[in-house]
């Protein structure tokens, strides 16, 4: 089985992954518990990062 690497999971979490590749990685995540778990962690990390960025932007705008 070909596991997606952390960079690919990050692109997917950011919504920047090419559609063709996204479909195959999502299929993999449906079958591979290990990658599904790392993707969940990547999504949490990306969400935390985006929230922190938003906070910084609010501060510079206000
Ligand atoms: Zn996997």
pLDDT at position 1 is 63
Find where tokens 């090419």 sit. Answer: 18
Ligand 1 centroid to 53 CA: how many Å? Answer: 30
Ligand 1 centroid to 5 CA: how many Å? Answer: 9
Question: How far is residue 20's CA from residue 50's CA, in Å, rounded to a whole number?
Answer: 25
Question: How far is residue 20's CA from residue 13's CA, in Å, rounded to a whole number?
Answer: 15
Does this model's pTM top 0.85? no
Question: How far is residue 3's CA from residue 39's CA, in Å, rounded to a whole number?
Answer: 11
Cβ-Cβ contacts under 8 Å for 25 (sequence gap 6 or more): 4, 8, 9, 12, 17
Q: Tens-of-pLDDT digits for all 62 residues of the chain? A: 689 999 999 999 999 999 999 999 999 999 999 999 999 999 999 999 999 999 999 988 86
pLDDT at position 62 is 65
């Amino acid at each position: 089985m070909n596991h997606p690497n952390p960079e690919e999971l990050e692109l997917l979490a950011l919504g920047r992954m090419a559609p063709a590749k996204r479909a195959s990685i999502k299929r993999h995540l449906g079958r591979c518990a290990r990658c599904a778990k790392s993707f969940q962690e990547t999504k949490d990390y990306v969400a935390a990062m985006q929230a922190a960025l938003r906070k910084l932007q609010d501060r510079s705008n206000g």
